[in-house]
Amino acid sequence: MNRPSVQNNDKLHVMQIVGDPVGGIRKHVHTIIQGIDPSRFVQSYAYSQKTDTRFRHEISDLHDRLSGELKLKIKKKPGLLDIVNLYKLMRYVKRHKVDIVHGHGAKGGLYARVVSRLCDIRSVYTPHGGSVHKMFTPLADAIYIFTEKLLFSMTDFFLFESRYSADAYHSKTGQISDCWMVNYNGTIPPGRNNLLERASEFGSVSEQNGTIRVGVFGMLRREKGQIYAIKAIEMLRKQGRKVSLHLFGDGPDKTDLMEYVGKAGLQDAILFHGEVAETEMHMIGMDLIMVPSLFESFGYAAIEAMALELPVITSEVGGLREIVINGKTGVLVKPADPHALADAITRYQEVPAAFKQYAAAGYERYLELFNGKRMISSVENVYNRLAEKTSDQ
């Protein structure tokens, strides 16, 4: 294919495309948009009209970083809407002279790569969730794999958020590109002192007479494993231990989880806070952060906690195994095991000094591997490499 020269002589125009801008994928994309150097890049953003509270809070802060936005009606299942969306994306790309499209997740990746081929520009793809995990029916997984194999040759660069994601993708598709790299997700938290002050004013930090506050942040759905955190707290309360669980997020499992808590009589010990706009402000009010997920291509909540020097307990799954070094920067436990979670919380109560050391080491690991500036620098380098390849052709 004959590639045109870069379409904007002064700055590279990059378009981020996301099918479902919630959770970690939203955090990932918004960190890129917020951090990319505006003196060297122009940015556009295409996303689903279906968004959550956190997205609506954040998008207003991104307007001054974007030259344009494209809201699309996106459904997870393939259909005629995909053709309509591809047409709208093609028209936008040509009209606004976009140089690179960066697709995130299965649907965003599909759109980015098809549009790049049709518009003769460069594409970057970052797989998330569905295109990596075996979390759907065998038929749905087979469709994902078949689609990824078709799109493989249309992808100019693969940016994976963890080694786990890269290995899982390569294993599922049976193909490895010459142009790929692992670029760990990163975060840039507000200053700790400022967070503590604001959290105290908001009421996120409060004394609970020695009660250990455990926070779980994420969508309330089976894959996130909140039920196992609830069962762990149930065990500890029966032992007479002073511990409370704070669930932040919303999702399809909320009713079932609340029903379980009600039947167990744990309404005073397990609190549902719903979606929150500022994760860190609520996270700083916790003693422990738990990530009890059954699947994680990465695990943003873990690095957000490490960036705030909070101790973490996570499931030993997916990308979490690359974030947490067991017994050094946190505690890893078997997935779907409330007994293991309860034991880890008990250790925190009995040996708090060890967990304080984990938190300090976790913060150093965050600075080394998971800070947002490092992540954004790597993304910018990939965009520049693709622009140089384009100019050479």
> Model confidence over 113-123: pLDDT tens digits?
999 999 999 99
Average pLDDT over residues 215-229: 97
Residue 278's pLDDT is what?
84
Q: Which two structure tokens, joined as six digits, stand for 161?
A: 């958020």
Residue 83: Cβ-neighbour burial (10 angstroms; 0-12, 13-18, 19+): exposed
Banded model confidence at residue 135, pLDDT cuts 50, 70, 90:
low
The pLDDT of residue 88 is above 50 = yes
Ranking 101-110, 132-141, 149-158 by mean pLDDT, the lowest is 132-141
Q: Which two structure tokens, joined as six digits, stand for 76?
A: 């997870």
Percent of the chain with pLDDT strictly greater than 70? 92
The pLDDT of residue 76 is above 90 = no
Residue whose token pair is 């990824």:
148
**Residue 46 near residue 70, CB atoms below 8 Å:** yes
Distance separating alpha carbons of residues 207 and 185, to the nearest angstrom: 33
Report which of 137, 171, 176, 144 is spatially closest to residue 158, judged by C-alpha positions. Answer: 176
240-256 b/e (C-beta count within 10 Å ≥ 16 → b): eeebbbbbbbbbebbee
| Mean per-residue pLDDT over the chain, rounded | 92
Residue 357: Cβ-neighbour burial (10 angstroms; 0-12, 13-18, 19+): middle
Residue 289's pLDDT is what?
98
Average pLDDT over residues 328-345: 99
Ranking 59-73, 141-155, 169-183 by mean pLDDT, the lowest is 141-155
Higher-scoring residue by pLDDT: 172, 18: 18
Residue 208: Cβ-neighbour burial (10 angstroms; 0-12, 13-18, 19+): exposed
Task: Tell me the whole-structure pTM to 2 decimals.
Answer: 0.91
Distance separating alpha carbons of residues 308 and 52, to the nearest angstrom: 24
The pLDDT of residue 6 is above 50 = no
Banded model confidence at residue 23, pLDDT cuts 50, 70, 90:
confident
Domains of the chain by range and CATH? 12-186+372-392 (3.40.50.2000), 192-369 (3.40.50.2000)
Banded model confidence at residue 198, pLDDT cuts 50, 70, 90:
low
Angle at 103 between CA 102 and CA 105, to 5 degrees: 150
> Model confidence over 365-387: pLDDT tens digits?
999 999 999 999 999 999 999 99
Coil, strand, or helix at residue 239?
Answer: coil
Residues 6+ apart with CB under 8 A from 79: none
